[in-house]
Amino acid sequence: MTSTTPGAVIQATLDSSSLEYKHEAEGRFFVTLPGTRKLQTNCWLLVAEHALVIEAFVCRQPDEAHEEVYRYMLQRNARLYGVHYTLDSAGDIYLVGRIGLHAVTEDEIDRLLGQILEAADGDFNTLLEIGFATAIRREWGWRESRGESLANLQAFRQLVERDGPVLPMSER
């Protein structure tokens, strides 16, 4: 009977996928998940003594509406598989999870990475709209006043149309 290590299962799963990754050290994999709203999500897969730990950065600490952002994340946690939203000591937002080493299979790795991608990419604009509304409206106003491209802000058009842009201090 042959025993395949969790690290070998992870590497085989990543090798058979089209994902970019780096095998940093034994049991440490840095994976880049491509997205549409959030262009990429960086994710660590770390084989610990008794569990596989998965951790992905979602966005920095919100500038505003902290309670609303945290309420959104807590409600969203109830619908996530294998991972949950959390904050680091700086208040930045992450998705984290932990599974027993006995559960490390190609299907489970694929499912966890899929959940990370779905959540980080799918929730990204909502988290930005709630936690960075003033900054988005200010950036929109600044670009609009200079005739610069608004292409990468179009997902937030309804925010600006509803509340109007915020002009930078120098233009008020």
pLDDT digits (tens, 9 = 90+) for 79-130: 999 999 999 999 999 999 999 999 999 999 999 999 999 999 999 999 999 9
Which comes out higher in pLDDT, residue 50 or 167?
Answer: 50
Number of C-beta neighbours around residue 153 at 10 A: 16
Helix (H) or strand (E) holding 131: helix 106-131
Structural domains of the chain, with CATH:
6-131 (3.30.1460.10), 134-166 (no CATH)
| pTM listed for this prediction | 0.88
Cα–Cα dist 41/59, whole Å: 10
